Structure formats: C-alpha cells, structure tokens
C-alpha cells in the first residue's frame, strides 16, 4: 500500500516555494529568464492550510525573452498552467518547459514569453480543482468576477495583449491528448502539429466526442463560457489554444507531452501568423 497522503506530506510536495526555487536560481544568472511573481490576497485565508503563513499569496510568473530575430518584432505569448489546482502535470510541464528554454534559448528566438505556471495557487496547495473560495477559476473570465486570481490575470491579459494564449490542462476523463482552439482562424494549424509531436509520448484522443464537445482528431472548436481567453475587446484576435493531457497517464509522460507541445507551438506559431497576414 502506498504511504497515506498526510496533510504534511501534501504540503511538502506542493510547497510552491520549494517547487519554484530551482528556476529562480537559474533566473538569477540568466540573460533570458526572469522571475516576476505577482501577489494577491487570499480572502479566505486562515493561515491553517497550505504553505502560506500569511494572507498574501504568490501567483508565480516567469518571463523568458528569447534571442532577437533580426529586426522582426517579438511575438508575445502567455502560457498558463495550474488554473485547476489538482492538475499537477500542467504546473510541472510549464516549469519543465522553462528549464528547457534556459538550456536551449534558441527555441524561443523571436518570442517574449510570460509563463504563469500556477494560476490557482490555493487550489494547488490544497490539491483541488477549485480555488480555496470554492470556485472553478476557469469559468470566471470576463464575467466581472471579483476572485483575486481572476482580477489579476485579467489585468495581465489586457495590459500585455498577447499574440497567443496557451492554457495547459489535464483531463482525468480522457484516455488521450486533445485540445481546444479559439480566436484566430488558423489556430488549428498550430495545435495540429503540437498534438502530433506530443503523441510521440502519449496517445491522442480520436473520439468523435470529447468532454461533451464535437471533436475532430482531438481538436475541438468550441468551449465553455468563462474560460481563460483574450479580452473580448482585443483585435485582431490572438491564437488561443487549450492543450489537454490525459490526467490518469504517468506524470512524467504528461510533463513531457506538455513540454513537447509548447516547443512545437513556438516552432509553428510565427509561420501561421505570417501566413494569416498574407491572406
């Protein structure tokens, strides 16, 4: 029998400070990687649960400024993990991707990346989908939500006006990889190769219906209202991708799938944007 998950054990495993430290160390000596955490106030804080002794909560953010691309303007992407607190693979996937970029900055040539590995810090600490105030944060966007995480992230989305928004998720009802596309009309041409690349590690979900949506080879062109997305007033629309791994698959394979998908998205993104502009 595996050892029981005691609150203490869970707290250690899900201690954000411990988890982020290696990347913060890398950032200290890097010309590309920067730590730029945000802070929010936990309205439900008692100090009793999770790694946070105070009401101030860290919402982690890293910047990665890739090498320049010979005069072409930088493309700005927002990458979001851990909006559902129990989807550990998305948090670790985003962090692993940053580590890979640190080792191989060329992957991010021409990109300015804003990476939010843990969008739901209280849910992550508690190992729940919901934030500590009991809501599914990924149904709250652009609905005048007063949840502090939403207010903070919406402000980021407005101020940074991303060219692309990539949200990482893990679905325990899916036996394979799939994703949602939204926004820019050519977005599926970025998700398609990302799914192909990640399917070297985990199978792709080819069901005709996934998560109650009509799906085509693992791609869904619909979505729930209130999911993390570009500000309604942003034009032209950015590319918006939700990438999902099967949450019941081994954790290391999911982390690898997220990392490969993100790498492939960066590889394809600029070409698709330029193609779109010439139509």
Stretch that binds Zn ion, among 78-86, 110-118, 141-149, 211-219 (CB under 5 A): 78-86
Phi/psi for 165 (5° steps) reads -125, 120
Of residues 110 and 223, the one with the C-beta less far from Zn ion: 223
Smallest gap from residue 1 Cβ to Zn ion (A): 29
Stretch that binds Zn ion, among 84-92, 176-184, 187-195, 259-267 (CB under 5 A): 84-92
Smallest gap from residue 170 Cβ to Zn ion (A): 6
Smallest gap from residue 49 Cβ to Zn ion (A): 21
Token output for 94: 């985003």
Coil, helix or strand for 161?
A: coil
Of residues 120 and 187, the one with the C-beta less far from Zn ion: 120
Q: Is 74 exposed, middle or buried (0-12, 13-18, 19+ CB in 10 A)?
A: middle
Stretch that binds Zn ion, among 79-87, 213-221, 254-262, 267-275 (CB under 5 A): 79-87
- List 14, 61, 84, 268, residue binding Zn ion (CB under 5 A): 84
Of residues 87 and 163, the one with the C-beta less far from Zn ion: 87
Please say whether the beta carbons of 67 and 60 come within 8 A: no
Q: Is 254 exposed, middle or buried (0-12, 13-18, 19+ CB in 10 A)?
A: buried
Q: How far apart are CA 116 and CA 222, in angstroms?
A: 24
Contact track, Zn ion, 31-70, x by CB under 5 A: ----------------------------------------
The count of residues interacting with Zn ion (CB under 5 A) is 3
Smallest gap from residue 209 Cβ to Zn ion (A): 18
b/e code 171-197 from CB counts within 10 Å (16+ = b) = beebbbbbbbbbbbebbbbbbbebbbb
Binders of Zn ion in range 166-205 (CB under 5 A): 169
Stretch that binds Zn ion, among 5-13, 20-28, 149-157, 161-169 (CB under 5 A): 161-169
Strand-by-strand arrangement of the 219-220 sheet: 33-35, 62-65, 111-116, 75-80, 164-171, 239-246, 178-183, 219-220
- What is the contact surface with Zn ion in residues (CB under 5 A)? 84, 87, 169
């Amino acid at each position: 029998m595996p050892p029981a998950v005691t609150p203490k054990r869970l707290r250690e495993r899900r201690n954000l400070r411990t988890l982020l430290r290696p990347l913060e160390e890398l950032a200290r000596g890097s010309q590309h990687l920067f730590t730029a955490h945000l802070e929010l106030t936990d309205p439900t804080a008692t100090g009793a649960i999770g790694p946070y002794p105070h009401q101030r909560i860290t919402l982690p953010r890293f910047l990665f400024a890739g090498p320049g691309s010979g005069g072409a303007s930088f493309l700005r992407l927002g990458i979001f993990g851990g909006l559902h607190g129990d989807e550990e693979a998305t948090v670790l996937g985003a962090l692993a991707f940053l580590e890979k970029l640190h080792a191989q900055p060329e992957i991010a040539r021409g990109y300015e990346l804003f990476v939010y590995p843990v969008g739901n810090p209280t849910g992550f600490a508690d190992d729940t989908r919901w934030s500590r105030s009991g809501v599914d944060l990924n149904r709250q966007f652009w609905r005048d939500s007063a949840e502090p995480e939403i207010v903070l992230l919406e402000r980021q989305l407005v101020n940074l006006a991303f060219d692309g928004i990539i949200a990482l998720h893990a679905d325990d009802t899916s036996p394979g990889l799939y994703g949602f596309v939204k926004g820019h009309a050519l977005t599926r041409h970025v998700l398609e190769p990302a799914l192909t690349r990640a399917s070297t590690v985990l199978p792709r979900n080819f069901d005709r219906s996934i998560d109650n949506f009509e799906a085509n080879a693992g791609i869904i062109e619909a979505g729930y209202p209130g999911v993390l997305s570009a500000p309604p007033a942003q034009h032209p629309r950015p590319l918006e991708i939700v990438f999902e791994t099967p949450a019941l698959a081994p954790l290391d394979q999911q982390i690898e799938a997220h990392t490969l998908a993100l790498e492939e998205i960066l590889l394809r993104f600029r070409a698709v944007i330029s193609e779109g502009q010439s139509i």
